[in-house]
Structure 1
Amino acid sequence: MKNKLTGNRYIMDVGELKTELFFETDESMIFTVIEGGSLTESGYSEKVKITVARVRSKVYMVAWKEKSGATVTHVEDHKNGIIYSNATLPDGSFYNMKGTIHPVQDSVTE
């Protein structure tokens, strides 16, 4: 079943990390780091396999594992433009971040 994120691009900004998220299919996303701060290299891009769970209208939990071994889980509230991001890096460090998420183009997420 197609989720409402598929085919859309969003900008996620959690302060020191800013990325573009492109939901290519129901099961894949391409993230591109716009500003990596001290967390990662700016300009880095990777296609990842994702799991998407609809929490309620316009709120999704999205999870994936990166090539590096890092794991990421987002709760994306598209109604209010808020994102909660949790990431565990291969060295065991854990990041809990909150910021904004906005569509790059007009999109409808239910």
Structure 2
Amino acid sequence: MYTFFFGRKFRVDYAGLSANNFYSEDGNVVSYEITDGPGKGAKGESPCEWHQIADGIFAISWQEASGATVVHIDNFPEGHSQTFFTTPDMKFYRLQGQLQR
């Protein structure tokens, strides 16, 4: 049912930012690493919450140890991601791009 991202690693590529996200087997923890763009080199692990919006489409949110907040709307079957995040210095970003396993 909710196995689209549980226990899997995904790369998200937005204009100017790329990251790797790995979700725990139960989908309640995300390990992340920003590989390009604002916050490059930041990595960590955070509890996350998710809600299924439609078949294969999930809203996933977490707060990082730095205080940064992240919300993804991920369409796993179509490979599309939208993110809304605020950095610790209160810069707000809205990005969309590709999502791949």
**Could you say whether these structures have the same fold, taking a TM-score greater than 0.5 normalized by the shorter chain as the test?**
yes
The higher relative CO (CA closer than 8 Å, separation ≥ 6) is in 1
The structure with the larger Rg is 1
Equivalent residue for 1:96? 94
Q: Note the C-alpha offset of 1:20.
A: 0.9
Structure 1: distance between partners of 2:20 and 2:90:
25
Aligned residues: 99
Q: Note the C-alpha offset of 1:26.
A: 2.0
Structure 1: distance between partners of 2:30 and 2:58:
14
Structure 2: distance between partners of 1:34 and 1:92:
20
Structure 2 residue identity aligned to 1:6: F
Is there any run of 5+ residues in structure 1 with no aligned partner, and where?
Answer: 104-110
The share of aligned pairs that are identical, in percent, is: 20
Moved more, 16-25 or 67-76: 16-25
More strand by share: 2
TM-score (norm 2): 0.90
Is there any run of 5+ residues in structure 2 with no aligned partner, and where?
Answer: none
TM-score (norm 1): 0.83
- CA RMSD in angstroms comes to 1.4
Q: Which of 82, 85, 88 is the equivalent residue of 1:84?
A: 82
